[in-house]
Amino acid sequence: MASKRPRYLAYMLRLWQVGEDQTVWRASLENAHSGDRQGFASLHALVAFLAEETAQDRPDAAEESCPDSKQSQREASESHLDP
């Protein structure tokens, strides 16, 4: 029996800048339920992840709120940065 899609997602958002001449924003989200943390190389990548997590037709909509998409994993691997 498939579980219902969670109606509540909770993350701790961290933002920081890198670079001196051209500053770039980096971000990480920590899942408040599981403690998993994902890094994002840009704010665009962060917003894309959140859009994917809240999409109505998400393929894994019946799974837990812990993100595990290929795109998110790739973006996280591009940004091994912690503030």
Structural domains of the chain, count:
1
The answer as to whether 45 is a domain residue is: yes
Q: Containing domain of residue 74, as a range?
A: 11-55+66-78
Mean pLDDT, residues 2-19: 85
Going by DSSP bridges, is the β-strand pair 24-31/37-40 parallel, antiparallel, or unpaired? antiparallel
| pLDDT per position as a tens digit, 74-83 | 455 454 455 5
Mean pLDDT, residues 35-49: 97
The answer as to whether 5 is a domain residue is: no
Question: Of 34-38, 68-72, 73-77, where does the model show the most confidence?
Answer: 34-38
pLDDT of residue 20: 85
Check residues 28 and 66 and name the one with the higher pLDDT: 28
The residue type at 65: S
Whether residue 30 has pLDDT greater than 80 = yes
The answer as to whether 36 is a domain residue is: yes
